[in-house]
Amino acid sequence: MRSLVLHKTDKGKKYSDLFRIEETSLPELSDDEVLVKVHFASLNHRDLWIAEGAYSKIRLPVVLGSDGAGTVHSAGKNVKNFFRDDKVLIYPCRNWGESEDFQDRSFQILGMPDNGTFAEYVRIPQSALYKIPAHLDLSMASAFPLAGLTAFRALYTKAVLKKDDTVLITGSGGGVSALALMFAVASGADVFVTSGSEQKISKAVSLGAKGGVKYNNREWSKELLSLTGNKIDVIIDGTGGKFFSDFIEIGSYGARIVSYGATLGYPDRLDLHKVYWKQLKILGTTMGSAADFRGMLDFISDKKVVPVIDNIYPFDEFCKAFDRMGNSEQFGKIVMKINTGE
């Protein structure tokens, strides 16, 4: 089978210097595993950061990729619920643990250290496979696992989103933020976004957002409060940095601020007086449990949610896919077509 193998990491190198598509052996299955023929796999920033060496405990060589949708090729003797050619979606987390509140210390994500979905075939425990919602094709389904799971847990498990909430989703355009927008709109919430691009704000509005502001404007927070009528109940953020301090200022009394990432680093200040006086909730989250994943799929099926796919690239054009994500040009998910036939 063909696999996209990462052999070295370096932020300054071209992706063609770091990866090679090469022939590898089909994985051997245990009795409880399924060999999935991967039709489509989508990129996450995690893949980019690993390639740049910005992750701990990287083991090389490795096949990256946490998101994948495909069909069952073969299965171990204990597998009872999946049959050849079944269309399946992969739950990307491993060893979540017993608590729904947080992951176990042994928690891992598919695609490092274990080989992931950037290959024609991948072996998956049957417990991590789910049938694809009927209204989705395989390319659409591949966009959901990691980003959708993160967005769903942030909105519903952590923020406990309500229909009459006003929601701010920062950094519009990324995979998590795009899916968080679609989930929140499907729930009936009023959604606003921030972005560095007017084009991305316009795209968010076309998907149901009520409006948005450019975060590189000095008065962005005042502009946002004017748009929302001084009401922001939920903030979903993956950036952190200097903007996090502003969330304390603009959040309404009792607001829930959910952080799923910190691409801009630490906040420069944090007004704890306003945190307690406004009775704010600051909540951390990452990925999600199998129950969250099941809940996400049920929600997607009920609301008929269809993801925003930015581009689909042939497997051989993986460099273009990585470059587009590295340049922050995308709105929605970047997908690679691994196997032909769908």
Residue 79: what pLDDT?
A: 97
**For position 25, what pLDDT does the model report?**
94
Q: Which residues of the chain have pLDDT under 50?
A: 342
- Residue 310 CA to residue 52 CA, distance in Å, equals 22
pLDDT at 89: 98
- 63, 195, 55: which is closest to 117 by C-alpha? 63
**Secondary structure element (H or E) that encloses residue 283, with its range:** strand 281-284
Query: pLDDT at position 168, please?
Result: 98
Amino acid identity, residue 279? Q
Q: What is the pLDDT of residues 307-342, one digit of tens each?
A: 999 999 999 999 999 999 999 889 999 999 998 654
pLDDT digits (tens, 9 = 90+) for 232-255: 999 999 999 999 999 999 999 999
**Domains of the chain listed by start with CATH number:** 2-144+307-337 (3.90.180.10), 149-284 (3.40.50.720)
- The DSSP secondary-structure symbol of 126 reads G
CB 104 within 8 A of CB 9: no
Whole-number Cα distances in Å, 327 to 126, 324, 330: 36, 5, 8
Least Cα distance to 178 among 158, 195, 156 occurs for 195
| Max Cα-Cα span within the chain | 62
Which tokens hold the place of 170?
């920062």
Instruction: Specify the pLDDT at position 222.
Output: 97
Residue-level pLDDT at 173:
87
Tokens 């009401």: give the residue. 231
If phi over 0 gives left and psi between -120 and 50 gives alpha, with beta otherwise, what is residue 268? alpha
Distance of CA 200 to the CA centre of its chain: 18
Number of other residues whose CB lies within 10 A of the CB of residue 296: 27
